[in-house]
Amino acid sequence: MAESTEALARRISGAEDLHSVVKTMKAMAAVNIRHFQDAAESMERYRHTVELGFTAVLRSRPDLLSRSRPALPDAPLGAVLFGSDQGMCGQLNEEVGRLYLRTLRDENRDPHKVSLLAMGERLAGFAEEAATAPEKMFHVPGGADGIGRLVRSMLVSVEEWTRQRGIERLALFYSREAERGGTEAVVDELLPLDREWMRRLARREWPTRSLPVVTMDTGELYSRLVRQYLFSGFFRAVAQSLAAENAARLASMQGAESSIRDKLRELRQSYQQQRQNAITEEIIDIVSGFEALEESGEAK
């Protein structure tokens, strides 16, 4: 049964309102992507400064390289998953969760023996259903200015792990924008420090003619640099995860916008057809009535 023109008009109005909402969400996602990309790029520059600090320390204390020894295969593992609080971001949460579970299977680890944190309600829920509930769930920051506070809160838990449980391995699971478009889930193992990376830093040529001089205790400085290294790693993971989330949401909104436009075109065509049919029927009724009057001799 064909819809009335009034019903079609209401559906068109609702679709237009939805189209407006989708366009707004699309614009917000595009702006957020740029903000989080800028935050990630800024942290890369900060990370470079931290690496220079390692270079300065290792040049004076090469023996500190021994602290970057590989962890044993069954060493206690701490994992941090980064996802979203909101939907409309494709399979981002599922991809991160599946990578985490696949890593545990490859290492033949019991999920209940892994120290786990998660950012985002949706990913925390996925982890709880598939393996085990995270010890703590952190909400996604609303903007780039909230990343630092989130990271500091997470690092408090990580320090408790290392102090109370002897965690030797620390791995971050998150999404980032892929080079060919879309998003991809990755894992970044921050601890133990990569020995080859440390060796490269120790051999790196100093960028200026003024060579660094370490005036404080090198062991203390090394420990502080490790904390800053962890901070930069967490910050980068959060920023790239949020940029990927908004990129996935932008793609979803583009798909939704295309579907709404197609539906609006269909509804408007149906509305115009209904209007044309109604007008045609009115004209036919008028002509038929006039002809009937003529035949009865009443039309003069």
Tokens linked to 164 = 């109370």
Mean per-residue pLDDT for 157-179? 91
Q: Residue 290's Cα: distance from chain center in Å?
A: 69
Tokens linked to 158 = 């990580």
The Cα-based distances of 110 to 104, 131, 261 in angstroms read 7, 9, 49
Report the distance separating Cα 27 and Cα 35, nearest Å.
13
pLDDT, tens digit, for every residue of 180-219?
A: 778 899 999 999 988 888 899 988 888 888 878 888 888 8
The Cα-based distances of 26 to 82, 251, 261 in angstroms read 22, 8, 15
Residue that has been written with the tokens 């001089």 in this structure: 213
More confident residue, 287 or 268: 268
DSSP assignment letter at 94: H
Return the closest-CA partner of residue 76 out of 187, 193, 172, 170.
170
pLDDT, tens digit, for every residue of 36-76?
A: 999 999 999 999 999 999 999 988 888 888 777 776 767 88
Q: How many residues does the chain have?
A: 300
| Percent of the chain at pLDDT exceeding 70 | 96
Mean per-residue pLDDT for 20-34? 81
Report the distance separating Cα 116 and Cα 125, nearest Å.
13
Task: Give the pLDDT confidence score for residue 277 in this predicted structure.
Answer: 76
Bridge partner list, 187: 173
pLDDT, tens digit, for every residue of 231-285?
A: 999 999 999 999 999 888 888 777 777 888 888 888 888 878 878 877 887 777 7
